Structure 1
Amino acid sequence: MKLYGYWRSTTSFRVRAALNLKGVAYETVSVDLGAGDHHAASYMALNPSGGVPTFVLDDGTILTQSMAILDYIDATWPDPKLIPADPMARAKVLAVAHGVASDIHPVNNLRVMKVLDGEFGATADQKKAWMQHWMAEGLAVIETQLSSNTPFAFGDAPDLADLCIVSQMYNADRWDLPLDGFPKLAKITANCLAVPAIMAAHPDNQPDAKDDT
């Protein structure tokens, strides 16, 4: 199996972490978003949206969209379980996970930054303010949804909510978002990164990681 992704992509981070936690072997294929590799015809044939990640199974089946890929992974390799079976627990985990994936990430990704820059002439400070605004607003909501009594979002082991949180918090740190108001999120992030399988998925630990971007 092949996972096409970009080292700094938070969506790729989520999927790498899930595969690592479950002990699933996969080959990483770098798609350099900064260099525009996602617009190449060969990649667009795999994923017409030009997004990452793209997960290609051994039989050639192509899966796109990180949350759909994560759902497939959890259904196919159920141990450890990332999405609870209990309806109430499942709803709580998905609310947090989609709070990141649906509310924060879409307005904080590369394509939005390029439009702010190219179409609206946003300065570096304005782009940073944009990123910080939407992350702060979304993370403030998520902070209220988390348990205060568990090391991870809703229990003693990381689940889908935690994988979305730790990847988004990486982006928050990258954009210098003040995190003093998010103690639960900070605790969860530290606990996630203490898990070797998740730390191995961290952007800085990828073979295509770069020091200058």
Structure 2
Amino acid sequence: MANSGEKEKLKLYSYWRSSCAHRVRIALSLKGLEYEYIPVNLLKGEQSDPEFKKINPMGTVPALVVDGDIVISDSLAIIMYLDDKYPEPPLLPPDLHKRAVNFQAASIVLSGIQPHQNLGVIRFIEEKINSEEKTAWVTNAITKGFTALEKLLVSCAGKHATGDEVYLADLFLAPQIYGAINRFQINMEPYPTLAKCYQSYKDLPAFQNAAPEKQPDAPASTS
């Protein structure tokens, strides 16, 4: 049930370890929205199944089915849709400067980091070159992005990325840092602002509930 009291049947196509899907799960949790979780196993190639391609021709997760049969299949588009339709709590601050910082932080993750660690990209690099080059590629992308994020947020961070309230930047930071630490063994010591934010997310139920290891398709060894 939505915070507004309006009921809407939502279906989320997700994969437990996808950072893009992770962002959307946080948004859904923050908004107090119930949804049906439909797993798409990326390692088994289920994203390329013809039936799933009917849902999302790009063959990626997340995809959210809303209003019965409308599909939104980009994490930022989904989050903005949810924020427009269910405005409490707001995911963008009223201050225009902080709002711009939130969009900048989200963009750095969305276009500057995550695509470079995407499963398809790193598999391609490993197959065409070698696993060492794959690791170097991912490490370079995350390091470059985290360095930029640290400089962007150091002067405006509070408990969270742009103050003491949770906003859009936090939805993008939490999954990215989770993946950097748990998938790619990135040392967070050079990024104290990001590390502080990440610690703060561990105290928030909406972030805890959206964690990869809490998802129904997560392997038992991760819980």
TM-score by length of 2: 0.90
Aligned match of 2:3: none
Residues in 2 aligned to 1:44 and 1:114: alpha-carbon distance in whole angstroms: 21
Residues in 2 aligned to 1:127 and 1:212: alpha-carbon distance in whole angstroms: 25
> Is structure 2 residue 217 aligned with structure 1 residue 208?
yes
Question: What secondary structure does 2:146 align onto?
Answer: helix
Extract structure 1 runs of 4+ deviating beyond 6 A: none
Residues in 2 aligned to 1:203 and 1:128: alpha-carbon distance in whole angstroms: 22
Question: How many residues align structurally?
Answer: 211
Pick the aligned partner of 2:186 from 177, 188, 194.
177
Deviation sequence 1:161-203 (CA, Å, 0-9, x none): 0110010001111201111101110111111121011111010
- Percent identical residues: 37
Residues in 1 aligned to 2:96 and 2:119: alpha-carbon distance in whole angstroms: 34
> Is structure 2 residue 52 aligned with structure 1 residue 28?
no
Residue type of the alignment partner of 1:134: A
Native 8 Å contact 1:147 1:154 kept in 2: no
Aligned match of 2:136: 129
* More displaced stretch, 143-152 vs 88-97: 143-152
Q: CA RMSD in A?
A: 1.4
- Bigger relative contact order (CA 8 A; separation at least 6): 1
Question: What secondary structure does 1:12 align onto?
Answer: helix
Aligned match of 1:153: 161
Native 8 Å contact 2:126 2:133 kept in 1: no
Residue type of the alignment partner of 2:201: C
Deviation sequence 1:50-91 (CA, Å, 0-9, x none): 011000013210001101111111111111111224432211
Question: What secondary structure does 2:64 align onto?
Answer: strand
Residues in 2 aligned to 1:130 and 1:177: alpha-carbon distance in whole angstroms: 13
Displacement of 1:127 after TM fit?
Answer: 1.6
Aligned match of 1:141: 148
> Is structure 2 residue 85 aligned with structure 1 residue 76?
yes
> Is structure 2 residue 172 aligned with structure 1 residue 164?
yes
Gaps of 5+ in 2: 1-9
